[in-house]
Structure 1
């Protein structure tokens, strides 16, 4: 049986890492299917994934082909059968939307020709929107989707693994919020207005409530006008507040749509786990991803059985985006709760020919993704494809630089995928259970990213507009700094109450003019209960809907007396001078700060930051923000972190250009990541926490430092148990396999030739080891205290075996 239990995929009672690759059967000649599947198996994949295009299988209305009678590449039944014959599980993604660079996003031509423009998204002027998006609740659309599901869902249900088939997972539609996000455009179809009014009535059925809130004079709900399109500036605080309800409505809209599709599939016999995919990377950066995940807020935790897969397409890896994938993973975990962290589209090739990826950067990304908590991924794409005639959005070719060409020829990307499969398999039990140990928390506030329809500030009386500063102040500022500083932190969804606030010695809050009352109260409660808050750049003055709300200010007993702004703004913070910061700065009167410590002033002598004891806790406020632009920013972040007694690191490096992090299991094992995101070699010594004893350990153990190759990462199991009395403590090599035959252990390894090779064993049985050798390389070994240290040089691009002989 395949199922989801908490944060894990479970196969026949065992937690597994879902190691999948995308192969589109409809983009490959049928006579080559066996070859592609055989190579997927050779690569170590356990699962293959594919879209099932509605347009491909219903080329004419009412005429379905799943057995290939109109085209061999339409034989979906044959594809599923071949997956099972090759010992592979299968994930199916039947839309209705698939996108996937398929013309019409996978909707049939006959449907678009018949119902366009009526079924399309419309702007506020009633004009069709130029995109592939449709009005998701248009009766004609839902009617045809039901007929498509009537055909495809029984087929999927009949081939589920739990019923003797090989299908283990199904995607419900695909990236449905992407059309509004990219176009910055809502759908103003008449059905949308009806649903919006219903949404408002459910929240408050008194029209006078909304009139008072929005400063309007509607006599009935039917009179309500929808907010204007995204280019018209806000006319007032109330106008901005109305848009907040409009934005929250869209979260319900998308949730209701996916619930309808889920119910259709369940009613037709599908019992598989469902997931939906989340986009967000833009040209190598993930700072817009949080916008997309907030669109599905109404489906998270126990509000649906859908899990949300991450679309991880970074395009390149470097110091510029070294933090993005971790933030995306952390926000996904924080919002969706106790569910697996799965990369549904995991870069393995390029959608655009001019974006050339290489295995070295991808290896760094893949290893970091494990360190950042993924418990499953789907290489997108494993196989390159050729589009059926007139079906490709980008012409005849689909994707480039993949492990496999359409003709099933291996490329330079294949060995990495194969090696990552071995790495996962060798340490799978640790990877699927490992968790971060953090005493620092960072709050994520979803309304600050609910901005896909946001309009210009206009007359909305905003000092700090969150959408304008969140990248510099938060995503590329605080969060990047924490990663560069190797600080262990957890991302916490402020809209939830489920996490244990008291677990954290310090919590950081990115806060602007607006924050709802319940969330302000949570922050105050944490402070008064011995918490340590660092809040910047402003204490809120109103709720998201525009209602005045100053719970934090009132509790602290301090409010600013105004703002200051000047060219080339600089402030002094905690003894650090001339810190570059943003305009404006919130200014405070010293008379109002009795009992508080002044910690920040701008260079004009005005107070812009303070720390104050409140109840049993401490409130630290900086009334401006800075990014991560200078070395002194690193210094100031460190000083603010040190205001609490939180343990900041479980692992660390003596070189800030070498990034480290560690995750732990409850069984005394861990995974350690050591990464160099720079295009230059750096020397470093790394420390980490022994997962069983809590001791601080060192890598390398046999030398003072090691040279970390450029754009390279170590991903080492820590405390990997060979048996009860012998553990692999750490290694600078990739562990690919471990076997024992009689008195001989064989450890299969791989490493970078520019990185020293070291493998450390511990446990009582190290004293029973008679010899360590390799037929492939020269080795040396010695006992250092209670550890056995093996050193060697890595051969170039070759796996090698280390033999350990017991007496």
Structure 2
């Protein structure tokens, strides 16, 4: 089967396995993509069958995943073992037979690089000596890909087997091996590079050796970086590190797997924003999934930061699914992965738009001990029962059929983040868990984007973080709170968005520079707007029936007024452009009450909301039911009134139930629901038409339970 391009330039499969924004289909049936990681080669084969059947399928999982380490299956160079003739734990085919027997689908994470806390990271010693991800390394990889692809063809869903997805590599990070060629192709001569970078290098080799410019400089003991010698060099270096190298490397692996007959969708995974440009790498693979590890109970500011990158990945990814989702170990510096933590982080991610996850590790192994639901010898911990309860709820509400309701997007541009790094911003969270809860994470993202993220969450405004390169049409309202530069193509894209009926709200000055920070007014000219006049004064402002004192940064004399201060200053203006509208806000609206009133003034589309700043809600619907996820971020129990702003066609024939406690609730005539949520816990509220029956999970043994039936 030949891959065909998507609109994003990546690949999809038109056969039995289909991945997309709306989920995962196998043989035309949408499945719940809840998966568990089980490293067969780390567990005695005598436990494989029982773990797969009773404890994975029996818990409610639909998929099982594993790394496939090259070094395990090629213990002697040129001698590949997939049947266990040298080592019983290397019997990959026997394991896949058991996966199929127990009615699970299989996700192969076959490398060549796995990492996975394996000595050598997956490749055998002879390949590691060459250096990972170099051209010579890729040549050696050909033999591995050819050998393992024979197994994938045999066990592919195309041939009636369990294999549905293959991960081509793990957490691709750039090395300098292609940097010289990249710069030579871009500039042609060292003189041209020196002029652009304002440097005096004697050769391209000298550029490659300049690690301070490539990696950035530490600021004291912090992780602060100042990437690049100047802004142009920062753009080049980040383009290489996050776009060119990972895309080029992944494309070469995809070509290998296709050449040798692997016929299911190919994907890769990622961690942090500064390692990969997720949008760009999908030009090589079917999708990019997020590896998600959250600090224990997502404390303090880490909640906002986690929301940014989880929401952003869900917006960008062709299939928002986590190939590596924290489970089990408390050894990674994030704190213990207890049952309470797993509930919170699972539903936090699903609420933000993730469609499913792969729990890493569902089955315990060495170097990952403590809280895994299943031990290496087929015993269960209390976390197994907690996971089974979550999976049961997801099956009962038919999660795979629900669609997240969100109409507001907070715009993100990759180059804005690069600018933040270039100016010395930090790139990673604190390493010490004990300081995470009290740490200000403002050093991880540029203002005002970071500050408005906090305001949106604190006011329980349902929103997505939206990469400006993605499809904007699904969002009736877009918010811009970012630096005033944007490349011309993206400026013109925003003009088209407004002309076609969108609302664009500028919480910071609109872009008037291109990505190289040279004058570019394509957006302002296209929308017919101008920059405001400086004010820097406190004013009294009335928004509908509420009065506020706000700090006015700029005013818009002569522009069509949206909001005017009591002394006559135009504090916010509105202009109709085509079928849409554009708004410029001249005052700080970070205060929660001011922000909510501002959204009401422009009739911002919302679907659900709470009256408690500690509770974040999201709404997920189909024709038969609505599901509200409500997350209490506080450590104390919170009473909350949730208002369902979307029209559910409510009648007395609806049942309302909190799924964890099985408590019946009331949907009041004003479409409000009152609920009490313990500290750092989750409520999952189903609103279902009474005639709609739930899936009978016991009838067909979809979830068997701990004891064999």
User: Residues 229 and 657 (structure 1 numbering): CA distance in 2 closer, same or farther, change over 3 Å?
Assistant: closer
Aligned to 1:393: none
Shift of 1:438: 3.6
Aligned to 1:636: 594
RMSD: 4.2
Aligned to 2:641: 685
| 2:217 pairs with 1:252 | no
| 2:162 pairs with 1:166 | yes
**2:619 aligns to what SS in structure 1?**
strand
Match of 2:397 among 422, 427, 442: 427
Question: Could you tell me whether the CA contact under 8 Å between 2:35 and 2:65 is conserved in 1?
Answer: yes
Q: Distance in 2 between matches of 1:399 and 1:598?
A: 58
| 2:671 pairs with 1:655 | no
Q: Distance in 2 between matches of 1:524 and 1:206?
A: 38
Shift of 1:500: 1.8
TM-score (norm 1): 0.70
Residue correspondence of structure 1 range 94-493 to structure 2 within 5 A: 94-112=110-128, 114-115=129-130, 119=131, 134=132, 136=133, 138-177=134-173, 187-189=175-177, 191-198=178-185, 200=186, 225=207, 228-231=213-216, 239-250=230-241, 251-280=243-272, 290-292=273-275, 294-300=276-282, 303-318=283-298, 320=300, 321-323=302-304, 326-336=307-317, 339-350=318-329, 352=331, 355-386=335-366, 397-428=367-398, 431-450=399-418, 454=422, 456=424, 470=445, 473-475=448-450, 477-493=451-467
Q: Distance in 1 between matches of 2:326 and 2:462?
A: 26
Cα deviations by residue, 1:453-509 (Å, 9 ceiling, x for unpaired): 74649xxxxxxxx9967355324x32343234332334433124x4327x61x3201
**2:505 aligns to what SS in structure 1?**
strand
Question: Could you tell me whether the CA contact under 8 Å between 1:247 and 1:453 is conserved in 2?
Answer: no
Question: Could you tell me whether the CA contact under 8 Å between 2:328 and 2:372 is conserved in 1?
Answer: yes
Aligned to 2:510: 539
Shift of 1:173: 0.2
Cα deviations by residue, 1:287-346 (Å, 9 ceiling, x for unpaired): xxx444x5233233xx3442112212213224634455554443223323xx32211112
Shift of 1:356: 1.4
Question: Could you tell me whether the CA contact under 8 Å between 2:362 and 2:374 is conserved in 1?
Answer: yes
Question: Could you tell me whether the CA contact under 8 Å between 1:241 and 1:545 is conserved in 2?
Answer: yes
User: Residues 685 and 548 (structure 1 numbering): CA distance in 2 closer, same or farther, change over 3 Å?
Assistant: closer
User: Residues 197 and 433 (structure 1 numbering): CA distance in 2 closer, same or farther, change over 3 Å?
Assistant: farther
Match of 1:69 among 85, 104, 109: 85
**2:507 aligns to what SS in structure 1?**
strand
Q: Distance in 2 between matches of 1:652 and 1:467?
A: 25
**1:271 aligns to what SS in structure 2?**
coil
Residue correspondence of structure 1 range 439-588 to structure 2 within 5 A: 439-450=407-418, 454=422, 456=424, 470=445, 473-475=448-450, 477-496=451-470, 498-500=471-473, 504=476, 506-527=477-498, 531-553=502-524, 558-559=530-531, 588=554
Residue correspondence of structure 1 range 599-614 to structure 2 within 5 A: 610-613=572-575
Question: Could you tell me whether the CA contact under 8 Å between 1:532 and 1:644 is conserved in 2?
Answer: no
**1:229 aligns to what SS in structure 2?**
helix
Shift of 1:398: 2.5
Q: Distance in 1 between matches of 2:62 and 2:286?
A: 22
Shift of 1:52: 0.9
Q: Distance in 2 between matches of 1:736 and 1:399?
A: 35
Q: Distance in 1 between matches of 2:121 and 2:47?
A: 25
Q: Distance in 2 between matches of 1:269 and 1:141?
A: 21
Cα deviations by residue, 1:606-659 (Å, 9 ceiling, x for unpaired): x996434364665444568686xxxxx2112212212312232x2233333333
Aligned to 2:660: none
Q: Distance in 2 between matches of 1:562 and 1:689?
A: 38
Question: Could you tell me whether the CA contact under 8 Å between 1:486 and 1:652 is conserved in 2?
Answer: yes
Shift of 1:59: 3.0
User: Residues 573 and 238 (structure 1 numbering): CA distance in 2 closer, same or farther, change over 3 Å?
Assistant: farther
Aligned to 1:58: 74
Aligned to 1:17: 32
User: Residues 415 and 268 (structure 1 numbering): CA distance in 2 closer, same or farther, change over 3 Å?
Assistant: same
Question: Could you tell me whether the CA contact under 8 Å between 1:689 and 1:695 is conserved in 2?
Answer: no
Most deviating of 73-82 and 262-271: 73-82
Shift of 1:91: 1.6
Cα deviations by residue, 1:255-310 (Å, 9 ceiling, x for unpaired): 11111101101111110111211224xxxxxxxxx444x5233233xx34421122
Q: Distance in 2 between matches of 1:738 and 1:690?
A: 30
Q: Distance in 2 between matches of 1:615 and 1:702?
A: 40
Q: Flag the structure with more relative contact order, 1 or 2, with Cα contacts below 8 A and sequence separation at least 6.
A: 2
Aligned to 2:49: 34
TM-score (norm 2): 0.79
Match of 2:666 among 681, 687, 701: 701
User: Residues 518 and 414 (structure 1 numbering): CA distance in 2 closer, same or farther, change over 3 Å?
Assistant: same
Shift of 1:70: 3.0
Aligned to 2:20: 6
Q: Distance in 2 between matches of 1:469 and 1:409?
A: 41
Cα deviations by residue, 1:371-406 (Å, 9 ceiling, x for unpaired): 3333322111111102xxxxxxxxxx3343110122
Shift of 1:238: 9.6
**1:544 aligns to what SS in structure 2?**
coil
Shift of 1:533: 2.7
Question: Could you tell me whether the CA contact under 8 Å between 1:4 and 1:340 is conserved in 2?
Answer: no
Aligned to 1:710: 679
**2:635 aligns to what SS in structure 1?**
coil
Cα deviations by residue, 1:130-160 (Å, 9 ceiling, x for unpaired): xxxx3x3x33211111122122121222111
User: Residues 608 and 92 (structure 1 numbering): CA distance in 2 closer, same or farther, change over 3 Å?
Assistant: farther
| 2:621 pairs with 1:664 | yes
Question: Could you tell me whether the CA contact under 8 Å between 2:34 and 2:63 is conserved in 1?
Answer: yes
Question: Could you tell me whether the CA contact under 8 Å between 1:153 and 1:268 is conserved in 2?
Answer: yes
Q: Distance in 2 between matches of 1:326 and 1:91?
A: 26
**2:232 aligns to what SS in structure 1?**
helix
Unaligned stretches of 5+ residues in structure 2: 1-14, 219-224, 426-440, 657-664
Which of these two proteins has the greater Rg computed from alpha carbons?
1
User: Residues 89 and 236 (structure 1 numbering): CA distance in 2 closer, same or farther, change over 3 Å?
Assistant: closer
Q: Distance in 2 between matches of 1:235 and 1:51?
A: 36
**2:382 aligns to what SS in structure 1?**
coil
Q: Distance in 2 between matches of 1:314 and 1:519?
A: 32
Question: Could you tell me whether the CA contact under 8 Å between 2:226 and 2:421 is conserved in 1?
Answer: no
**1:245 aligns to what SS in structure 2?**
helix
Q: Distance in 1 between matches of 2:575 and 2:30?
A: 46
Question: Could you tell me whether the CA contact under 8 Å between 1:664 and 1:691 is conserved in 2?
Answer: no
